[in-house]
Homo-oligomer: A and B are copies of this chain.
Amino acid sequence: MRNVFYLSITLIVTMLLSCSETTKKSAPNKESSSMEEGVLMGFLGDRSQQQQELETKFDELLSAEEMGEWMKRLAARPHHLGSAYDKENAYYIDSLFKSWGFETKIETYHVLFPTPKERKLELIAPHSFKAKLKEEVIPGDPYTEQTDEQLPPYHVFSADGDVTAGLVFVNYGLPEDYKRLEKMGVSVKGKIAIAKYGRSWRGIKPRLAYEHGAVGALVYSDPQDDGYGQGDVYPDGPYRNSSSVQRGSVTNLTVYPGDPLTPGIAATKDAKRLKIEDAEVIKKIPTLPISYEDAQPLLEAMGGPTAPADWVGGLPITYHLGGDDTAKVHFKLAFNWDLHPTYNVVATMKGTDYPDQWVIRGNHHDGWVNGAADPLAGMVAELGEAKAIGALAKQGLKPKRTLIYIAWDAEEPAMLGSTEWVEDYADELKEKAVAYINTDGNARGFLNAGGSHSLEKFFTQIAFDVEDPQTGISVGQRSLNRQTVNRGKKVDTFRIGALGSGSDYSAFIDHLGIASMNLGFGGEGVNAQYHSIYDNYTYFSKFLDPGFHYEEALAKVAGRTALRLANADILPFDFVHFHQTVERYANEVKDLADDMREKTDFENQLVRDDVYKTVQDPLKKMKTPEEKEAIPVYNFDPLDKALGKVKQSAQGYQKVFSALDGQEDQQKIEAINRMLYKSERYLTAAQGLPDRPWFKHMIYAPGFHTGYGVKTIPGVREAIEQRQFDRVKEQIELLSETLSKFSQYIDQVAQEGK
């Protein structure tokens, strides 16, 4: 579902997230390579060497070619939730896991999944034009011909509707875009908003349009961002062609993901369900994704003021804001509001020593259409890992902890498969889940890794232990090298990004506080046909990763992550990195608050001095800015204090961890481990985040107003951003309390180890 590999801007953000803000000028960080030559974090004595030997065998069992064949098989027909082939794939994957020696089961939930009954979009003034709403067949790409099985382009969880209204161009449909429209005197009230894809998650766009009074929403892929402006379009090149449409979910997944009718509980057959009209995550207005060939005639016909220069896209027209009825549209949508069964494939390889400690690895198997890059490129890596793990087990090399390999269904509509499963097994997972390792799509290029910062130090070692298929250096070093070149200064320290949302890790980390990782390669192969009929095997094997070498590399990275967590003597959690990272977040929000306060004071002064009034072009009808409420000085002392305590506790535990040499009482080590992996749970708060109690993690969450993108220490940050002064105080206190409890817990872990 998540398209982390597509837009260069996304990649840059990811790159920025994954490296320290304050890169040291000193000599290369020791963490850049294996910490101590030959010593794996968490492995004591000669266990490091044993594990490395196991990993060598593991690598030898992987086959890029076989991964390509699995992809071809799984992507052969459209396999969205509810399709025949989705179910067929689930049973096929189940049979594979089983054949490799896993215990398997297919677990089913019953989720709301509306599909289109009627879609109509036509310009009725100033002239008539009927949108095609259809992707073209490409000669030479047989998958594009499977029109009978394809779901047409639509937004799942749109409202039904039939509206006739004028248009307003809202740029990317972000909160700041609406502020700008207001200044320019243009309102979406009673109009249909037309937004570009990008900069925020698609589900946010119709939500904000609705909140500003729009009666409908259209979201299109502008060719500048996502089409010929990026490069040659399919089939000449990988980029989005004129009829291609990005389908996708528009549920409010920043409020809660999963089945809209069963928030917080599993969507079992008999679960108590909300009425559809009471499910707040379902859109209240009709919304539809369209291609740029359908968008152009609408945009071209619009009147109203000229769009600001930085809103202009790549169509050969002057972009106008509309707001009048120059261009009038008739827009009708109707859906079948049915429940559908989901098929999660859950494969277990029981741990020899600690069967009740679960290392969980997942990728979804449902696609929007033929879904090759998304999700199968990640799925085939997972299958490769499972096959190798099965073969190792047959050689007697079974994992010490239980490995659970899962192929999720129904990720695309709203992470339905994973969320319902996590809600179903919540109590057991809280008790047993060591970590969750997610992938979701993949392509040729650079390693992107996000996750819990308590795993950053551990994961860094893995990134430096896996070789890049093209250059022969490690994938970690290649990622650092790119950051060094892009930023124009030496980047020595490998950093993982923080997790937002948009893939199956969300319920694990956000809802239950299970330490999670999300892994993938990309940037050279570019999934520029994201959620269209063109993301298929023909496309993937030509443009995204010919030879499937990066799926093999992903299996090496994700497999090592799973195997080391499964076999470690001491679970490789580290809280020093975690503290540094959270301290950085705290500094960011302090700076944010100061900047906002300073800017507000400055702008208020300009309002009082009539400066804006004299600068505006009197021939344009612009709204002069008004004074805003001054921003108070927030008291961050409780947070500083709590962070100081976390630092002490982290360092205290680090000493204990470093001193363990394997000679200790096995019971002592087991006690530490049992406590360690639950540490992430202490970063959650029972009441959850404001306005979205399902989100319980106090450090990471997707942005309430932005979607997939992460907001770190979200309670505090979003309250500051939204100028909710009282809430800032309340959230600083809640975060500080949470961190205090966390540090007390780390102290207890350390105590066990003394």
Contact = CB atoms under 8 A, between A and B. Distances in A.
A503 to B, nearest CB: 26
A312 interface: yes
A468 B615 CA distance: 11
Nearest to A316: B316
A617 B231 CA distance: 16
A608 to B, nearest CB: 13
A485 B625 CA distance: 11
Interface of A: 8, 223-224, 228-233, 237, 239, 306, 309, 312, 314-318, 445, 468, 470-471, 473, 477-478, 481-482, 484-485, 488-490, 524, 599, 602, 606, 611-615, 617-619
Contacts of A481: 611, 614-615
Contact of A488 (B228, B318, B468, B599): B599
Given A484-B611, A614-B478, A618-B470, A228 B316 contact: yes
Given A309-B8, A602-B488, A614 B471 contact: yes
> Which 6 pairs from chain A and chain B are nearest by CB?
A316-B316, A231-B306, A471-B614, A228-B318, A481-B611, A524-B617
Given A309-B8, A477-B614, A484-B606, A316 B318 contact: no
Contacts of A477: 614
A485 B613 CA distance: 11
A318 B611 contact: no
Nearest to A485: B615
B524 A232 contact: no
Given A223-B316, A316-B223, A316-B314, A482 B229 contact: no
Contacts of A237: 306, 318
Nearest to A599: B488
A458 to B, nearest CB: 24
Contacts of A230: 309, 318
Contacts of A489: 602
A237 B307 CA distance: 13
A606 B614 CA distance: 51
9 contacts: A223-B316, A228-B317, A229-B312, A232-B318, A233-B318, A312-B314, A471-B613, A485-B606, A524-B619
Given A237-B318, A606-B484, A232 B615 contact: no
Contacts of A614: 468, 471, 473, 477-478, 481
Contacts of A617: 445, 524
A616 to B, nearest CB: 9
Contacts of A224: 312
Contacts of A229: 309, 312, 318
Contacts of A231: 306, 318
Contacts of A445: 617
A611 B473 CA distance: 10
B232 A611 contact: no
Contacts of A309: 8, 229-230
Given A478-B614, A488-B602, 13 more contacts: A8-B309, A228-B316, A229-B318, A230-B318, A231-B306, A312-B314, A314-B316, A316-B316, A478-B615, A481-B614, A485-B611, A485-B612, A524-B617
A318 B528 CA distance: 14
Contacts of A317: 228
A615 B482 CA distance: 5
B618 A471 contact: yes
A230 B318 CA distance: 7
Contacts of A612: 485
A614 B490 CA distance: 15
A231 B471 CA distance: 47
Contacts of A618: 470-471
Contacts of A615: 478, 481-482, 485
Nearest to A224: B312
A624 to B, nearest CB: 11
A523 to B, nearest CB: 9
A491 to B, nearest CB: 10
A350 B314 CA distance: 58
Contacts of A316: 223, 228, 314-316
Contacts of A482: 615
Nearest to A484: B611
A29 B115 CA distance: 66
A584 to B, nearest CB: 25
- Most chain B CB within 10 A, of A488, A524, A611, is at A611
B314 A232 contact: no
A229 B618 CA distance: 23
A542 to B, nearest CB: 12
A485 B612 CA distance: 7
A152 B489 CA distance: 51
Contacts of A484: 606, 611
A619 B238 CA distance: 14
Of A232, A615, A617, most buried by chain B (CB within 10 Å of CB) is A615
Contacts of A599: 488
A445 B484 CA distance: 44
Contacts of A228: 316-318
A746 B609 CA distance: 41
Contacts of A473: 614
A315 B8 CA distance: 21
Contacts of A239: 318
Contacts of A478: 614-615
Contacts of A315: 316
A496 to B, nearest CB: 20
A202 to B, nearest CB: 22
A4 to B, nearest CB: 18
A592 to B, nearest CB: 16
